Each structure stands twice: as structure tokens, then as C-alpha cells.
Amino acid sequence: MIRVLFVCLGNICRSPMAHGVLRDLIRDRGLQGRVDVDSCGTSAYHNGEPPDANMTAVAAGHGVRIGDLVSRRLEDSDYYEFDLLVAMDGANERDMRARSFPNSTAQIVRFTDFVDDAVFDGDGVPDPYYGGREGFEQVYRIVVDGCERVLARALELEAERA
């Protein structure tokens, strides 16, 4: 099984949205048991909290359920238990790389590397707090586009291991 972990700062906006979208793709394509997904934050600011209410509302408006998710912090064991650690932006990618271990088995990648430039041409998924309701909608659009390619990468990793 290939395991994917989405990582942002607090694990209440961007990474839970990606978690929910990829979880739906996995379910819709019958890939349970082949690909697993989780999300976390590099900080412990919101440990134990549900996703942000605005992000939950935007997700629900698009048929994506994320209200069951609970924020947690990135753990050392994640570098060994997951195959892909997907940073939602450059700052979190740098933090993840700084905390990584030389013998870690996970690949650290940036989410926006999987996003079509026509959808979003930036180095990281923007923090929606600074864009009002439209900021949360923008995150949804970026995540939907990128998750297709993240899933494709996970399936490539599975094939490489076979």
C-alpha cells in the first residue's frame, strides 16, 4: 500500500482539503487497500481541532467531507510510515526537510509541482485566511487539480515496487 501524507502549517485548511479530495478519489476509483491518505501540520497550533469552519463549508459545497478530520502534528515516524510527504507550500517543505532523517523512506514533494500552471502558477498553495471566502474556493480549485496527479504518482510508486 502506498501512503500519502499532506502537510501544511496547522492542519486545519489546506492539508485537510487535500486529504478529503484524495480520499474521495481513492474511494471513487476503488483504490482502497492500494492507496491511503492522511494529513498533518508542521506545527501543533491546532492539535486535536477539526478543520477550519470556512474550509469545511467550502469542501461540503463541493461534496467533499472533511469534518471528521482532526488536526495533528507531523511526527518523526511519518518519515518512515508514509511514502509521499506532500508539502502544501515552500515554508512547510523546508521545515519537513530540516526535520527529515538520512534514512527516511518517504519522498518529500511540493503539492504545487502537481498543479497545472493554468490553474495556479505559484510556489505553494496560498493560505486561505488572507483571501476571504474566495481564498478558500481558490484552495479547493488548486487541490482538485493537483490531487489527480498526486494519485497518479502514488500509483507509479506502487508499480515501481511491484
Dihedral of alpha carbons 100, 102, 106, 110, sign: positive
What does pLDDT average to over the chain? 96
Q: Percent of the chain beyond pLDDT 70?
A: 100
Q: What is the phi/psi pair of residue 24, to 5°?
A: -65, -40
Domain residues for 125? 2-161
Please write the tens of the pLDDT for every residue from 107-134: 999 999 999 999 998 889 999 987 788 9
Angle between helix 53-61 and 14-28 (nearest 10): 30
Q: Which residue's entry shows cell 527529515?
A: 100
pLDDT confidence bin for 23, thresholds 50/70/90: very high
d(C-alpha 145, C-alpha 38), whole Å: 18
Q: How many residues does the chain have?
A: 162
How many domains, the chain?
1
Please write the tens of the pLDDT for every residue from 49-78: 999 999 999 999 999 999 999 999 999 999
List the catalytic residues.
Answer: 8, 14, 127
When pLDDT is averaged across residues 149-158 and rounded to a whole number, the result is 98
CATH number, position 16 = 3.40.50.2300
Say if residue 162's pLDDT is above 90: no
